[in-house]
Amino acid sequence: MKGAMARIGAAIVALTASTGLCVQFDATLTQTGSVGETLWTILRFFTIWANILVVITFGPFALGRHVSPRRVGGTVLAILLVGIIYGLLLRGLLSLSGGALLADTLLHKVTPLLAPLWWIAFARKGRLNRRDPWIWAIFPAAYLPYALIRGMMERAYAYPFINVAKLGWGQVAINALLIAIGFVLAGYVLVWIDRRFSARPSRLRPTR
């Protein structure tokens, strides 16, 4: 029963992220008029990459396929980063309406809330280790040079806290370091929670 509920919950998470991505694509397509340009535009943002990761992680789980606890944990941490950074640094910077507002809500607020709640309620505990936060950090670490290169090429940065043209390399490096430290620390909190509740019995089949 709990396994079925876990799959239903995972389906809801994946569907929420998918809907947000589709709505965002449609809203951007209205502005650009080109599918290729739309894809190029939205893939500038870590939010989009993180929500794609949610879909390709929670979707297979919802279909009953094996998904490793490490992958699920990294996905949850990435989308949680999206929600935290949005709430602390980005909320209210843009005036949105219609599809853009709906996409913003789904991608920055709803999915970052649902994914961690699913993990707390359904993820099989006791499968994470102390190396995992560093492995999970590869994803945002790989995004940073990509975002910086695109920003320098296009003279438009995805996020104000990595705007080298305005802030300079020193401040951007400090901002990136602070976010990285917060991300890794949050990863260790996730590992601690995983171990803290690992003794609780679970009916979910192993996913590794």
Q: What is the pLDDT of residues 69-110, one digit of tens each?
A: 999 999 999 999 999 999 998 887 777 789 889 999 999 999
pTM for this entry: 0.91
> 10 near 104, Cβ under 8 Å?
no
Q: What percent of the chain has pLDDT above 70?
A: 95
Domain boundaries, the chain: 2-196
Query: CA 207 to CA 172: how far, in whole Å?
Result: 38
Structure confidence at residue 117 as a pLDDT band (50, 70, 90): very high
Nearest to 131 by CA among 199, 191, 68: 191
- Quick: pLDDT tens for 130-148: 999 999 999 999 999 999 9
| Greater model confidence, 188 or 205 | 188
The yes-or-no verdict on residue 201 having pLDDT over 80 is: no
* Rama region for 33: left / alpha / beta (φ>0; ψ in -120 to 50; rest): left
Euclidean distance between the first and the last CA atom of the chain, given in angstroms as a whole number: 20
Q: Please give the share of the chain, as a percent, with pLDDT higher than 90.
A: 84
Answer whether 83's CB lies under 8 Å from 35's CB.
no
